[in-house]
Amino acid sequence: MKFSSKLLLSAATAGAILSGSVLAADVTEATSEKHAGAATQYRQAVFQLVRSNMGPLGGMAKGALPFDESVMETNAVRLEQLADMMGDYLSVDTRKFDVETGAKDEIWENFSDVEKKVMALKTAAQGLQAAVKAGDESAYRGAIGKIGASCKSCHDDYKKD
């Protein structure tokens, strides 16, 4: 009987996790001009925060700023957290409304790909955190580069010029 209860609990947990993943991938349509405007504003705010955390990292990767482990770790943690939020803020399809956005329509047509790219950002941010924790200065530039590459990948496909 214990085996059946454990199996049932495992199946229920797996089902909840999988249904949560599916729900997270769902694109919802903005229901009004106000909703579309707010969704766009929040999306842009998240990306402004990404930009503010990437700036110093980019400067370090280019050698314009000295490596600062404290800044790298803090900004990598923030980028990981922002990546966790991106799916929610990107999933609201605002195409039906006249909002000023840099998003291409394809973002909502291929949202599973967007989520993969967001996961790549999260993974890259975790990689920089690991490099800093290990004190592996030789890995800093490459780890920052992976974060930048994940951002560029999404911009190339889903951001208007």
151 labeled binding residue: yes
50 labeled binding residue: no
Q: 3-class secondary structure for 99-142? A: CCCCECCHHHHCHHHHHHHHHHHHHHHHHHHHHHHHCCHHHHHH
Locate tokens 């951001």: which residue? 159
Q: How does strand 28-29 pair with strand 92-93?
A: parallel
Binding positions for heme c are 151, 154-155
Query: Which residues belong to the annotated binding site?
Result: 151, 154-155
